[in-house]
């Protein structure tokens, strides 16, 4: 496995890889969720490229950029064990050299949910992913359903900007008690870690109600909100029951829909979602 920092070396090494090339972009501090993306890419592609870049442009001024967890040596050994051919670990200066002033923005899809709570977040995501796509030029790129809106926004950007890349969205990998794996789970103390299962419990309760015939989106949102509110260490930021494609809030669940939420557990902000219908 080759580890590369500069764009020039990345392009040179990439040119030597056999196609199709699969690409897994990450912010590092890897867990089994990330590795599931690498394994899927390994199974489907002749070569696999991963990136590790904690992208300053997608963090708000009061978010956790400075304390975002990092462990490059461990990440590299996990990627090597999973069969990655090339890892790109650009620095912020490589990605955003002096004078940088070009941004990629997806409009409507970024307005609700995470976009409403984190102004500028998706502009940072789409800009860096467009740059990564241009540099790595993969045939396929792998994203997690854990970040459902991000996957939808990337799919939209890929179509709108004509990137010749297939976007593959992989299922959310969970801990045994249902908590979605996340690099941010490391912020949780033992009590908070237990309380953090509340997201999975709330989503499960709403899904069960839907399976029993409940179609009123307000009722599903209320079931989720009440489950979260009953957990003393949790503070609800939003719950949503939205159309899977447009991410617009629903009145009635008729087809494929996204149940999603953002919840503070202590000071840690967690997101999770289920697809229903």
Annotated catalytic residues are 34
Minimal distance in Å, beta carbon 55 to ligand AMP?
8
Among 23, 68, 143, 163, binds ligand AMP (CB under 6 A): 143
Q: Which is nearer to ligand AMP, 167 or 205 (CB)?
A: 167
Among 4, 21, 35, 37, binds ligand AMP (CB under 6 A): 37
Interface with ligand AMP includes 173 (CB under 6 A)?
yes
CB-closest chain residue to ligand AMP: 144
Interface with ligand AMP includes 26 (CB under 6 A)?
yes
Interface with ligand AMP includes 130 (CB under 6 A)?
no
Interface with ligand AMP includes 131 (CB under 6 A)?
no
Minimal distance in Å, beta carbon 213 to ligand AMP?
30
Interface with ligand AMP includes 221 (CB under 6 A)?
no
Interface with ligand AMP includes 196 (CB under 6 A)?
no
Interface with ligand AMP includes 181 (CB under 6 A)?
yes
Q: Which is nearer to ligand AMP, 112 or 144 (CB)?
A: 144
Interface with ligand AMP includes 146 (CB under 6 A)?
yes
Tell me the C-alpha distance between 134 and 137, whole Å.
5
Would you tell me which residues interact with ligand AMP (CB under 6 A)?
Answer: 26-27, 33-34, 36-37, 143-144, 146-147, 170, 172-173, 180-183
């Amino acid at each position: 496995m080759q580890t590369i920092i500069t764009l020039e070396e990345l392009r040179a090494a990439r040119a030597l890889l056999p196609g199709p090339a699969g690409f897994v972009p990450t912010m590092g501090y890897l867990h089994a969720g990330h590795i599931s993306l690498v394994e899927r890419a390994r199974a489907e592609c002749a070569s696999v490229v991963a990136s590790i870049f904690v992208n300053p442009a997608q963090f708000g001024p009061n978010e956790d950029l400075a304390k975002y967890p990092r462990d490059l040596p461990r990440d590299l050994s996990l990627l090597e064990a999973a069969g990655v051919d090339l890892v790109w670990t650009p620095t912020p200066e490589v990605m955003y050299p002096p004078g940088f002033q070009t941004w990629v923005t997806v409009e409507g899809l970024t307005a609700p949910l995470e976009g409403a709570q984190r102004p500028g977040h998706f502009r940072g995501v789409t800009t860096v992913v467009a740059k990564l796509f241009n540099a790595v030029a993969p045939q396929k790129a792998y994203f997690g359903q854990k970040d459902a809106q991000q996957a939808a926004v990337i799919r939209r950007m890929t179509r709108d900007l004509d990137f010749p890349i297939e976007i593959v969205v992989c299922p959310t990998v969970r801990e045994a008690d249902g908590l979605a794996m996340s690099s941010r789970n490391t912020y949780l103390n033992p009590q908070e870690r237990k309380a953090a299962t509340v997201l999975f419990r709330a989503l499960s309760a709403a899904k069960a109600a839907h399976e029993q015939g409940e179609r009123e989106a307000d009722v599903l949102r209320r079931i989720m909100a009440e489950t979260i509110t009953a957990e003393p260490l949790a503070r609800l930021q939003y719950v949503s029951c939205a159309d899977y494609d447009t991410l617009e809030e629903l009145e009635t669940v008729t087809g494929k829909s996204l149940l999603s939420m953002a919840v503070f557990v202590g000071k840690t902000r967690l997101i999770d979602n289920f697809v229903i219908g």
